[in-house]
Every structure is written in structure tokens, then in C-alpha cells.
Structure 1
Amino acid sequence: MSEETTYDERARDHLGFSRWWLVVAAALAMAVVSPYQYVWSSIEGPMAADLDIPLTQLGLVFTLFVIVQSGSQFPVGWWRDRHGPRLLTFLAAGLAGGAYYLLSYATAVWQLYLLYSVGALGVGIVYTISVNTALKWFPDRKGFTTGVGTMAFAGGAAFFVPYVRANATTGAYDAVLQNMGLVIGIAILVAAVVLRDPPQSWYDARKADQVTAAEADGGDTARDYHWRTMLGTWQFWLMYGMFVAVSGAGLMLTAKIVSFAQAMQLDAVTATASATLLPVAGGIGRLVLGELSDRLNRRLAMAASFSLCGLGLFAVVGFSQTGTTVGFLAAVVLATFFWSPQYTLFPSLVADYYGESNSSANYALLYSGKMWGGVFGGAVAAWVVTQVGWSLTFQLGGVLALLSGIAALALRDPGPATNQSNHATPAVSDD
């Protein structure tokens, strides 16, 4: 009997249905919250015009989103590991759906700041629950299943963008926000009904499998790291630095590709096409690299992916300088395809190194690096552009990605967790 068949049968015994429905539910929730990150650029213009304010006054909205969405991961993950995902997911439905709906009634900038931050908390809940649902229920397919969820977050916006761009005009975008808020809230409620965590017996069986495999190989026994113990390993801090560097390079590309194309005197069609290709390439990259990392060495997959992202950024600059439109777009796809899988590869490697039972809190600490990556990709990159220009700024992003790829080669399994005094109790399924 294969490992996958064994886990499928164990999960069905606990759930009463296929564990793949949990992935579907998680992906649904991730897809509907994606507009917070990927549709904002399409609605900020009409909002600024309707409120009669300069567009620059809305710049803080997206920064607050990144900070709250990333910063909420650890407390959410800590709670989820102990109490399960269901109550949190119900809360997320109200926060993410309700905040998007209420944006249509905002009459002042501070209200936009507040509502987008509230919605970001809901997005943070959905993100950590969805990613870690895959890690907890699919120890045999970590890369692929986290890839499905994170692909939905990257690519889900593709279903919303045409509707938003066709209808989000000055004086009329309020109906768009209300309709999308309802869709977001209802879809997350549906996911909340399905999502749950494994019982203690699931983790016990998983640990027994690890011990058996380790004894057969003559290696280490099972690991179950608490977050405090994880922070004492050098592997975590190396991964944290890598996460900040790669996310900084990728978020810079995501946030500034249109401005870069315009500054390099590429035509408007090329600039728009580059922005359209970003979420598509990112979504596919997460799924493909996630699946490959399950079949190959995950550390080497990470090294190759980040190194190719860096080379892609150098190619973006090179083709833009020569005005080669097709090459420029291909380079954007290459860089994004190999950057975006960080959100699949890192959670999978954290679960490989530190176990699944505390994966929500453990990965959340690593994911907090997105805050610093966002600072670099936004404010710092904007300042660097004023000092050295667009080309050198994007090349700096390429250097950061390449360094992360090289650093991945130094990673090593920390081995079993020993002498821990602070074990978390895995959540009891909150049916």
C-alpha cells in the first residue's frame, strides 16, 4: 500500500469524506480574498476621484494591508494549533467580507485605512488556515497541496479583475465593492463548514510512521518542534533572511513593474500585459514547483527557483534596455514564475524540518518576514530608484534573489526536537 493511499484512508476514517475536499475549501477561501492584494490597483483610482483626494494619499492603504496580513499570522497560527480552524474561519468571513462591503460607504481616508486593515486581518486568518490545512492533512503531498492554495491566492484575482475594471468607475464602484464583499463573506463561510484539523490520533500515527521510517534508515526519529525551540535553530534564521530577501525582490517586481516599464519607455500595452501576466505566472509557478518539490529534493528546488528568479530580474532589465517587448514579457514571466513558489516551498520545508502539529505557528513566524520584504519592495525600492535609477534597483532585487538561492544550499535538516519543555497540544477537531 502506498504512502498516499495510507493517508487517504486514515483521513477518510476521521473525516467521513476525502481529505481533498479540505484542499478545495481552502483554495476557495484563498481565491475570494485575493482581491485585497491583487485588485487594489484597479479600485484605488476611482476611490481617490470619488473622495476628491490625491492618489498618493491612498499609498498607505496597501502598506497597512501587508503589515496586518503578515503580522497577524503568528497569533492566528498559535490559536489555530490549539483550537482548530473553524471559529477563526467564521470570524474571517465577517472581517474580510464585511470590510470589503463597508468600503463602499467610506467617506474619509482614515476609514479606508481602518477598513482595509480589518479586512487584512481576515485575509491573514484565511491564509494561515488554508496553507496549514494542507500541511497538517497532507504530509505526503506538502508541496503540491500548499501550491494549490497559494496558487488560488495568486490566481483567484483573475476572475475578479475583468468585472472590477469594467464596472469600478467613479461614482459606481460602490456596487462592485458590495457585491464582492458578499461573495467573499459567503465563500469563506462555506469553507468554514468544511475545514477542520486532525485529531490527536492522526498526529500519533504520523509520529509512529516517522519513527518506523527513521529506524529503517538508521536515522533520526520523529520531530515535533514548538516555536520557541525552532527559534533556537540556525536553519530558521537562515530561512528568515532568505524569505525577506526573496519576498522583497518579488514584491518590488509586483508593485512596480508598470512604473518600471513606463520609465524604460515601453509602450502602454506592454506595461499592461506585464501586470496581467504577474498573477498568472505566479499561480502556475506555485503549483508546478510545489509538485516538483514533493518528488525531488525540496532544498535544491528552492535553490534553483530563487536563483532563476534572480536571473529573470536581470533579464527584465536587459530586455527593457533594448526595447525588446517579447523578451521583456518573457523575463517578467520567468522571474515571477520562480519567485512566487517561495510561498509554497517555505511552508513545506518548515513542516519537513519542524513537524506538522505546530506548523501554523512555526510557519507564521517565518511568514512575518513578508513585512520586511514589503518595506523593501515598496518604500525602500522607491527611495533607491531616486538614488541610482530603475535599472540598478531591479538588478539589486536580482542580487537578493540570487543570494537566497545560494543560501538555500547551506540548509540542513535540524534533526529531531529534543528536551522541549513547551509542547503545544494539537487542536481537537472543532466539529
Structure 2
Amino acid sequence: MSGDSSSVDYAGRARDALGFSRWWQILAAAAMMAAVSPYQYVWSSIEGPLAESLEISLPALGAVFSFYVVFQSLSQFPAGWWRDRSGPRYLTFLAAILAGGGYLGLAYATSIWQLYVLYSVGAVGVGIVYTVAVNTAVKWFPDRSGLTTGIGTMAFAAGSTLVVPYVRANATVGGYQDVLRNMGLGILIVLLLGTVVLRDPPSEWLARENGAEEDDSDLAASLRGRAYKTTEVLRTWQFWLLYAMFVAIAGADLLVIANVVRFAEAFGFAAVVATASATLLPLAAGVSRLVLGEVSDRYPRKYVMAGSFLLAGVFRFGLIAAGETDAEIAFVGLVMAAMFFSSPLYVYFPAMLADYYGAEFSSSNYAVLYTAKVGGGVIAGTVAGFLVAGFGWVSTFALGGGLAVAAGLAALVLRPPAGSGMGDADPDAAG
């Protein structure tokens, strides 16, 4: 980071408060994120057997995933509000019951309305885990929030790769119930273990030693112990610009995730190209969150964010060019590149929010910002469907490229909130 935080031994203070290394908090958070990731990344592998067994059409099941996105996103504000005030333990226990119970219940579902309810209930558990895990990194690592947030969100993106082979091999009409039960039990056990490990730092742990009043105008708000409540955050224009950026880049990101297979098929590529693109996509997304999260800790965060989103847009336009020139290998590579630079949005935004507004109320503050994912989902779903029907896939993916470029350019306008003490003369201090 651009500010010198060496005057405070964060690792030592954390060890005094916990009795063990603060990295165990990140390990627990990452394990929880990996455990609930099948809700987002494995659904496509189980919906077929569910539809066939229950005699439900696949289009009717499409609403299940829509409910997931809405409930996973909107559950985070009440969860974040609770966590900031009461800590993560009881909240994580509730998440274990909801997320584990959701999959266990699906194994015994007999009608479509039960699928809707159970997946939505599980989605609330996923939303709780997500806000708890991300903000565990922000609260315990104000000096390395980019890297540690990246570890958790990488686990969410790539964690499901551990179970996908098992699911695809066993999610048949006769075997999917065992798959759902086993995943439900796995989620329940991992999250219950998380309740034992997770806790929040004491409120005074960031205080400067001996009451020193050093010149820290170039430090992020979270490093200085400055805390903005959500009502204060909502009164700053920076938050609303971040919100618009989140909608735009999430739309671009989800558009590729949801449609890359059909996009490849639209160009007449071989099935292996579509399969490779879909398989490598979450890997690129996960690795990027760790790599670029660390980069954003070492260099001014807003410029890393701007460059990342601009490249994400450029590579999306490259996807179109690869498709139109029948460049199959280039297409797969560009899918990975496009996702590598857009997926760290889930690292940049919570870290930037803590830079600007502090870590004490980071859970509720980021939960409000995270509702922008719903807007991104509308772009990737409803808007994309309209554009494909009226103008085709090229125009649809061009929209994604344009949204990513717009988010990158908007990042260059960002600067710390007035009166934040971060040094208005040095707008790069947020990094």
C-alpha cells in the first residue's frame, strides 16, 4: 500500500487478541467460501437430473438460479449489520443450518416450489458466509486487505472445482439424492467448524501506541481506525460511483460466466472449445483474485482497478474478433484473460470501501454495495436475452466490453471522501 503502516504491528496485536496467528481466520473463511460455492457453480450439473426425476422442464428450473442471485445478494445487508454489532459466531451457525439444510432438503424435494424455497433458503446462508468471510479479511488485515480478500473470493470461485468431478460422475436420476445429501453434510460440518474459529478483533486494537498522533494522512481509513457508518457512507458521491461501477463490471463478468458456452456455439466452434472455456473460466477467475489482490496492496488501488477493468473490456472485444476469425485456441485464451481481469472486482470493491470508509462497519457497508450484483445479474440475464434475440451475440458481448471499459475509466475519477483525513492532496493514498 502507498501508506506506511509500519508503526503498528498488526500481526503481533492480532496474535495477542486471538492467541494464535490471524491467518487462521483467513483459512477458516476460505474453507467456508469453498464449502458453499457449489450453490453458484454446481447448479448446472444437478439441474438436469432434478428436472428429469421430478418431471419439470428446464426453463421452469431457470428461475431457481435467479432466486439464488437475489437472495444471496440481498441477504448480505442484514447479515453484515448483525455481524458488525454482534460478531460472526452465531451468524455463521445460522448460515450452517441454512446452507447445509438447503442441499439436504433438495435431496427430498418433490415439487418445483420446494426447489425454489430450498435453494433460496440456502442462498441466504451463502450470502451470510460471503459477507462474513470477505469482511473477516478486511477486519483482521487492514494492512493486506487486497491479498486476504482475494484468498477468500478465490476459494469461492475455484472451490467448487474440488467437487465438480464427483457431482458430474454421480448426479444421475438415480444418484443425485446421495450427491445432494453428501454436499449438504459437507457444508454443515465445515461451517460449524468455522463458528469455532471465527471472531472479530477488539474495537481498540488499531489504536496508535502511547496515544501517538503521527502524521498518517496518507493511510487508508481502516489503518487509522476511522469508521464510517452506512448512513454516512451513503451521503458520499464516491459510494454511488463505486455502486455504478459495480453494476457495470458485474454485468460484464456475469455475462461471460452465464453465456460463454452458447457464445462459442454461436460461432460454430467444436464442443471441446466450449467445454474448455467453461472449465478454465472459474480457474482464471479464482487465480486472478489472489494475484491482483496482492498487486492492489502494493500499488495505488484505484489505478490497479482501472487498468484491470480496461483490460477486461479489451479482451471481451478480443473474444468477438476471435469468434469472427475462427481462432479457437485464441478464443479459449481470451475467455481466461477476460475473466482474469474482471473477476477481481470482488476483491477491489471491499478493499477500496475499507480504504475510504474504515473496517469497523465494513460488513454492512459492503453488503449495501454488493446489492449492485443484482443489477449485474439483470444485465447478464434479462438484458442479454433481449439483445441476443434482437441483435445477436456479437452486440451482446460488445455491451459487456463497453461496460468494463466504462468501469475502468470511472475508477480514475475516484478520490477519498472529503474530510476523511486521507490527504486530499494525495488521491492515490487509497491504494
Regarding TM over 0.5, the answer is yes
Structure 1 position 337, deviation (Å):
0.4
Matched to 1:318, the amino acid is A
2:277 is aligned with 1:274: yes
Kindly tell me: are residues 387 and 200 of structure 1, through their superposed partners in 2, closer, same or farther at Cα, counting changes over 3 Å? same
CA distance in 1, matches of 2:96, 2:123: 12
Kindly tell me: are residues 213 and 138 of structure 1, through their superposed partners in 2, closer, same or farther at Cα, counting changes over 3 Å? farther
2:228 is aligned with 1:225: yes
CA distance in 2, matches of 1:282, 1:207: 43
Kindly tell me the number of residue pairs found equivalent between the two proteins.
416
CA distance in 1, matches of 2:85, 2:218: 32
In the alignment, structure 1 segments of 5+ residues that lack a partner are: 419-431
CA distance in 1, matches of 2:258, 2:271: 16
Aligned match for 1:39, one of 37, 42, 54: 42
Structure 1 position 212, deviation (Å):
2.4
Structure 1 position 402, deviation (Å):
0.3
Aligned match for 1:244, one of 242, 247, 253: 247
Kindly tell me: are residues 215 and 286 of structure 1, through their superposed partners in 2, closer, same or farther at Cα, counting changes over 3 Å? closer
Structure 1 position 223, deviation (Å):
2.7
**Counterpart in the other structure of 2:147:** 144
Once the two structures are superposed, what CA deviation does each residue of 1:337-379 show, in whole Å capped at 9, x if it has no partner?
Answer: 0110000000000000000101001111111100110111112
Q: Spell out the pairing of 1:209-358 with structure 2 (5 A cutoff).
A: 212-214=214-216, 223-358=226-361
CA distance in 2, matches of 1:334, 1:152: 19
Structure 1 position 171, deviation (Å):
2.2
**Counterpart in the other structure of 1:395:** 398
Once the two structures are superposed, what CA deviation does each residue of 1:24-65 show, in whole Å capped at 9, x if it has no partner?
Answer: 000000001000000001111111111112110101001100
**Counterpart in the other structure of 1:20:** 23
CA distance in 2, matches of 1:15, 1:304: 37
Kindly tell me: are residues 205 and 90 of structure 1, through their superposed partners in 2, closer, same or farther at Cα, counting changes over 3 Å? farther
Structure 1 position 102, deviation (Å):
1.1
Kindly tell me: are residues 216 and 291 of structure 1, through their superposed partners in 2, closer, same or farther at Cα, counting changes over 3 Å? closer
8 A contact 1:150–1:286 mirrored in 2:
yes
**Counterpart in the other structure of 1:386:** 389
**Counterpart in the other structure of 2:427:** none
Structure 1 position 224, deviation (Å):
1.4
Aligned match for 1:175, one of 178, 189, 197: 178
Matched to 1:99, the amino acid is G
8 A contact 1:224–1:417 mirrored in 2:
no
Kindly tell me: are residues 61 and 206 of structure 1, through their superposed partners in 2, closer, same or farther at Cα, counting changes over 3 Å? farther
8 A contact 1:3–1:140 mirrored in 2:
no
CA distance in 2, matches of 1:164, 1:199: 42
- Could you tell me the percent identity over the aligned residues? 57
Structure 1 position 207, deviation (Å):
12
Once the two structures are superposed, what CA deviation does each residue of 1:249-292 show, in whole Å capped at 9, x if it has no partner?
Answer: 11010011111111111111110111101110000011111000
8 A contact 2:248–2:404 mirrored in 1:
yes
8 A contact 1:67–1:371 mirrored in 2:
yes
Kindly tell me: are residues 180 and 110 of structure 1, through their superposed partners in 2, closer, same or farther at Cα, counting changes over 3 Å? same
Once the two structures are superposed, what CA deviation does each residue of 1:190-237 show, in whole Å capped at 9, x if it has no partner?
Answer: 11110000112214449968x5242699x9976311111111111000
In the alignment, structure 2 segments of 5+ residues that lack a partner are: 422-431
Matched to 1:214, the amino acid is D
When the two chains are superposed, the root-mean-square deviation of aligned CA atoms in Å is 2.0
8 A contact 2:255–2:381 mirrored in 1:
yes
Q: Secondary structure of 1:307's match? A: helix
**Counterpart in the other structure of 2:160:** 157
Structure 1 position 411, deviation (Å):
0.2
Kindly tell me: are residues 332 and 69 of structure 1, through their superposed partners in 2, closer, same or farther at Cα, counting changes over 3 Å? same
**Counterpart in the other structure of 2:33:** 30
